[in-house]
Structures are given as C-alpha cells and as structure tokens.
Amino acid sequence: MFPRGAGSARRPLDIMWTFCLRSLVREYGWRFVRRVALRHPVRTLQAFQQAGRIDVSGVSVEVTGGGRHALDRPLSIVGAGFCLKPTNPSCPSGRANHDCEFLERLAGADAAGVPAPCRPCAIRDIGTRALRAGAAFYVMTSARDILDDVFVPAMTRGTFTTGLFVLCRYSFQPFAIGLLASGISGRLFPLEAGDCRDYRTWLLADRGIKAEQTAADGERMGAIARLFDAAASPSGGVRVQRRGSLLCPLPSAPASTRTVEAM
C-alpha cells in the first residue's frame, strides 16, 4: 500500500493532510471542528501531530492516547467496517448500516443455526468474539456516525478508552486523529482486499456506496481472534443489548435480549 523507498516516508503524511483538508468542506469535517477541535484545540493539535508520525504499514498499528495502551483489558469497543458484510449472497441485515441480524437476534453456534450469508461473514466472527470478550461492538458506516457514536461520547463522557478497529489502511491516520483527540487508545487492523485506496472511493463508501466486499487476510483475522479469545467469557455465551447504533454485552439481561453463543 505504501511502498518503501525515496519519498515514501512523506506519502502517508501527505495523504493525511489532503484527506483532512478535503473533509473540511463536508459535514464530517465541520462537525469535527465544532464538536471536538474548538472544544479541545490543544489536544486536537497534538492529535494531528501524533497521527502524522504513525507508521501505517505492518500487520496492525497501535494508537496510544489517554495514557493507556490499546490492548489494555478490557477493550471498550470493537469496530469493523460495514463493507465486510457479505454481498453474494447478500447480508440479511442490509449493507450500509449498523445492523447485524445474527448478533442482535440469533442464538446458536453450529452451522445449521446460522443463515447461509452469515456463515463466512467477518462481521459475525469479529462481533461474536468481541462481545464474548466484554467489548461493545460497532458496525462502522460513515465518518459522521463514528464521530457521533464513538469519538464524542468518549471525549465528553469517557464511554470508551480502548478499542480495536478494522478499516481501510488509507484512513488510518485520519481515524487516529479522532481516536487521539477523544482519548481512545486503539489497535488498527487493515483490510487487504476491496478496500478504499483514494479519497474518491472513500467518499463514496462514506455515503454507503460500496459494491465491493472487503476482506482482512488470514494472518490478521488470526491475530484478532487470539486477542479476543484470551479475554472471552469462560461460560462461552453472552447476552447482547442494542444501545443506539452499538451492540453491548450484558452480564445479565431481561428476557427480551438474545444470547450469542460461542463460535
């Protein structure tokens, strides 16, 4: 994605500033300025400086904010791009939204109890493991929604302090700015197929226009699984409650909630 060699050290920084400047004229940009930058200008400036020094290559990238390492236990939140949802057959929950029918309503771990589109779905896999590990799970859609659902609650109420996120490598540094400005330490895992690699395709995906199904390779999915399994509930099951756009694990829950069993 970012080749080594002469001038390669500058390219991610150039991408970050181009991304941010072009976003200023769009809703996410001015909302970020109003809701984050103007309220915490020094912290936001420091977030830009720190994000600009991040090496976005590698199996994963750690973003340390708020004095905590990204993999401190427990993880507060896990997010994965909606573009991981299956397209053929299509996701029963729809595509560019925060929904996952399996995680919200279904119970049962055996393949016979899982709808065909959900069986190979990375959202189902990552979400189930995250909820079993005690983290809220979030299907990420637009930058505006991420600002409203993750960054602002973290900044104003301390709702989230650590997280793990699966998204396109192209947006690592802009995403890191939001994490750092809101006080979240995060571990970022890149998509490796079908991901956005320029601003035009990212902007379309931000509007929900994304025909390609993305994927993370086996090495990264294995690393994610190991992180979650180390912190998973010994009982193997977890009760899940929808709170706004997020799915949250509960130690106990009323009968209206559903249980997602171990994979």
The three-state DSSP-derived secondary structure of 34-90 is HHHHCCCHHHHHHHHHHHHCCCCCCCCEEECECCECCCCCCCCEEEEEHHHCCECCE
Per-residue pLDDT of the chain (263 residues; tens, 9 = 90+): 333 333 334 466 677 878 888 888 888 999 999 999 999 999 999 999 999 999 988 889 999 876 565 565 578 999 999 999 999 999 999 999 999 989 987 444 445 568 888 988 999 999 998 998 889 999 999 999 999 999 999 999 999 999 999 999 999 999 999 999 999 999 999 999 999 999 999 999 999 999 999 998 888 888 888 888 776 766 556 788 899 999 998 865 444 444 444 34
List the structure tokens of 235.
């009982």
pLDDT confidence of residue 223: 85
Residue 150 CA, chain-centre distance (Å), reads 10
* Residues 232, 34: Cα–Cα separation, whole Å: 38
Q: What is the pLDDT of residues 237-255, one digit of tens each?
A: 678 889 999 999 886 544 4
- Pairwise CA distance, residues 29 & 177, whole Å: 12
